[in-house]
Structure 1
Amino acid sequence: MRLSPVVLALGLAASSFAVPVIGQKPDNQIAPKSIEFQQKGEAAFAAGKLMEADDALETALAVDPRNRGAFVTMARVAMKQKLFGQAIRLTNKALQLEPTDRDALSVQGTAMVELGADARAKEVLAKLQKVCASGCPQLAELNAAITRGPTLAQAKPPAGTPKKN
């Protein structure tokens, strides 16, 4: 009876130590099947087949949810569909995996410009400038998007049209 608390304490201490998981992959190894679906999605996106691209990229993420490239390409598909909020959410997921992903930062900043969030886009530009100290194409792309401004026509009602409340 006197040993029970000691044995219980030792058992609790032993169970709290981290146990390595056998067969766990490092974070930088993406499943080959996921890469294959990502490439199919990128090819469909390049061909303008947005639904096929989206399906293939979702499958790539179902196979391996650590595939940053699939998140970024899905964000580009969302941008083509003018779903800028979704593009920002997808790039956030990519940036959770790798906060310095240049492509994700560029797409996210461009989506923010399209939504009219210029101040936030400039914050993303500052992050990208730190990542690309010597310059990179993504930096130039985001800088051009900020300079250009939103491409969506700011739809103003014709003169004399009553405003909706």
Structure 2
Amino acid sequence: MRFAPAAAALSLVIAVQASVGYGAERDPAPRAAVLVAEGRAALAAGQPQKAIDAFEAALAVDPAYTPIYLDLAKAARREGLQGKAIAYYREALDRDPNNFAAIAGEGQALVEKGAVEKARNNLSRLQSLCGTNCAETRQLAATISQGPQPRVLTAEAVLPDAQVTQSN
């Protein structure tokens, strides 16, 4: 009985310490941080494939750093790979279910893919979590109001089949 107050105080300190450690976002491994910076620079320079390569390398170095998934998703969306982007956003949401950027990004990728109703579900989830004045909520609402953009057909996609003719 004489150790009860000390044990209670010690367990309280451990519980508080554990909750603070769990909630805080940690820094990436140093090499992963360099690769993430390279990827973000490549994305800003309009080189999404180079950015994807850097982000995937960073993910191999530090697979527990969740923001890499958001960067990968953004680069995949720029490449027109909305399905892959949605998978990355969902991985980020598995790790942090209330990540506003992941919810909004997934919603935007869904709109780009044509799944506007599913994107509206993401919007209502964002509105319940952070309100209507949240930057992510406003951004997703604007994307939904624009609707899915028509796909642009490139000249390479409509090249006629080559025909081989024999000349005399």
TM-score of the aligned structures, taking structure 1 as reference length: 0.72
Query: Does the Cα contact within 8 Å between 1:33 and 1:63 map onto a contact in 2?
Result: yes
Q: Which of 46, 68, 71 is the aligned partner of 2:69?
A: 71
Q: Does 1:149 align with 2:147?
A: yes
RMSD: 2.0
Query: Does the Cα contact within 8 Å between 1:38 and 1:69 map onto a contact in 2?
Result: no
- Provide the residue aligned with 1:19 in structure 2: none
Give how far 1:130 is off. 2.1
Q: Does 1:43 align with 2:64?
A: no
More helix by share: 2
CA distance in 2, matches of 1:88, 1:109: 9
Q: Which of 85, 90, 95 is the aligned partner of 2:93?
A: 95
TM-score of the aligned structures, taking structure 2 as reference length: 0.71
- Provide the residue aligned with 2:60 in structure 1: 62
Number of residue pairs the alignment of both structures matches:
131
CA distance in 1, matches of 2:152, 2:84: 20
Task: Name the aligned partner's letter for residue 109 of structure 2.
Answer: A
Query: Does the Cα contact within 8 Å between 1:66 and 1:97 map onto a contact in 2?
Result: no
Query: Does the Cα contact within 8 Å between 2:131 and 2:137 map onto a contact in 1?
Result: no
Where do 5+ consecutive residues of structure 2 fail to align?
1-20, 154-168
Where do 5+ consecutive residues of structure 1 fail to align?
1-24, 156-165
- Provide the residue aligned with 1:32 in structure 2: 30
Q: Which of 101, 125, 128 is the aligned partner of 1:127?
A: 125
